[in-house]
Structure 1
Amino acid sequence: MKGFRHWKWHLDEMYVKIGGEMHYLWRAVDQEGEVLESYVTKTRDKVAALAFIKKALKRHGNAGTINTDGLRSYGAAMDELGNREKQEIGRWANNRVENSHLPFRRRERAMARFRQMKTLQKFASVHASLHNHFASERHLLDRQTYKLHRSAALAEWQSLAA
């Protein structure tokens, strides 16, 4: 994955309440909608944004462009990393990552919320990898190919779970 320099990343943060206290789940999504990185913090400032972006860059290499919302913490973190020219800020440019929050929120409601920050971090990373594994872009595939991909994913999952 480190070889794809032309990739477009979408970064966003979402709030999650744990015991009545706000925590922030930072997420990075690529141009295809796959979750690259999830990171939980108690704050939504430059330090948290910098730690998240460094973690994503270390694991996945550099991106061609990075779409963010208007949060100024992203700009400050990008300045410190020297990636400010790669950052794009647009009103609807970050819809890819905003829509990727929806399956997470559905699952969170079904679980009746979280009780610890550590549990949230574990769940976010596991949920992302499972969602990436099983969620293929149905609208781009014909039925036969979709069923083939789905059965291959299920067979791989069953071999891992056994």
Structure 2
Amino acid sequence: MKLPASMPRLKGFRHPREIIAYAVWTYHRFALSTADVEDLLAERGVIVSRETIRLWVNRFGAHFADFIRRDRPSAADKWHLDEVVIPINGIKYWLWRAVDADGDVLDILIQPRRNAKAAKRFLKRLIAQFGAPRVVVTDKLRSYFKPIRDLAPNADHRAHKGLNNRIEGSHRPTRKREKIMGRFKSPRQGQRFLATHDQINTIFRPRRYRISTISYRHSRSDAFQLWADYALEMTA
């Protein structure tokens, strides 16, 4: 990925912001470890430790995710909600995820429970960001029923296992990264990583089977330009 060489240097950092942005991009765009990114940079003549890359990812990943959220088009008013278990340090946690009708991830939240209170907390968070939905599709978990009825009384709630297939695919990248990372070390780490990872994949992983080759290439070029613009807005 080529970023403009004329970008001003980031104050307090030895490496140019182009290199930092590239490291964050490769880590989240592909199923790579920090050691893999270290080797990619070394092949290009940039010597940096994997610990430094980890610090870049943690510090600047949220920056890119926030700007992607800021500039994304309005979310569709049909939401798919689902929850999947993720073990952290031998304790069972639940990853709550919502995607819209286009398959774009709206938000995620890691919680220790899979009950009505947890569902209400997640739904309130979504409505605060995107407004009330027109349709909410979930599985048959009873915990969804009362929160949706209370917080989105005008929404059409469709509870059916087969209708929620759209969101099932969004869990696969999480499982893949979870394996590479040797599982998440804490709920905070998992929340920070997935909240960033899902947003970056929103612009760099369009549903290619639904668009032509030309449209896909235009989409990819637009994503690269956005990434370059966001790199220019990085602050120390």
Query: Normalising by structure 1, what TM-score?
Result: 0.90
Q: Distance in 2 between matches of 1:107 and 1:3?
A: 28
Distance 1:62 1:85, change over 3 A: closer
**Which ranges in structure 1 are unaligned for 5 or more consecutive residues?**
none
Offset of 1:50 from its aligned partner? 0.3
Shifted more, 31-40 versus 83-92: the winner is 83-92
Partner of 1:115: 185
Residue correspondence of structure 1 range 3-18 to structure 2 within 5 A: 7-18=77-88
Show the counterpart of 2:99.
29
Please say which structure displays the higher CA radius of gyration.
Answer: 2
Contact (CA 8 Å) 1:2, 1:60: kept in 2 or not? no
User: Residue type of the partner of 1:111?
Assistant: M
Matched with 1:161 is 231
1:24 counterpart letter in structure 2: W
Aligned to 1:104: 174
The 5 Å alignment of 1:21-100 reads 21-81=91-151, 83=153, 86-100=156-170
Shift of 1:110: 1.5
Change (3 A) 1:141 1:79: closer
Q: Could you tell me how far 1:161 is from its partner in structure 2?
A: 3.4
Between 146-155 and 80-89, the greater mean CA deviation after superposition:
80-89
Q: Which moved more, 1:81-90 or 1:99-108?
A: 81-90
Instruction: Name the CA shift for 1:2/1:65 in 2 (closer, same or farther; >3 Å).
Output: farther
**Structure-2 separation of matches of 1:49 and 1:123:** 21
Q: What is the rounded CA distance, in whole Å, between the counterparts of 1:2 and 1:129 in structure 2?
A: 13
Deviations 1:62-112 (A, max 9, x none): 111000001111012223325375210113000011111111211221111
For the Cα contact (< 8 Å) 1:49–1:73, is it kept in 2? yes
Paired with 2:211 and 2:86, the residues of 1 have a C-alpha distance of 34
Worse-superposed segment, 144-153 or 84-93 = 84-93
Look up the SS of the partner of 1:94 in the other structure.
helix
Q: How many residues align?
A: 161
In 2: Cα distance, 1:82 partner to 1:136 partner: 29
Query: Which residue in the other structure is 2:202 paired with?
Result: 132
* Percentage of identical aligned residues: 34
The structure with the largest strand share of the pair is: 1
Matched residues in 1 for 2:150 and 2:226: separation? 41
Residue pair 2:134, 2:156 contacting (<8 A) in 1 also:
yes
**What is the root-mean-square deviation of aligned Cα atoms in Å?**
2.0
- Does the aligned pair in 2 maintain the 1:2–1:61 contact within 8 Å? no
Find the aligned partners of 2:179 and 2:100 in 1 and give their Cα distance: 25
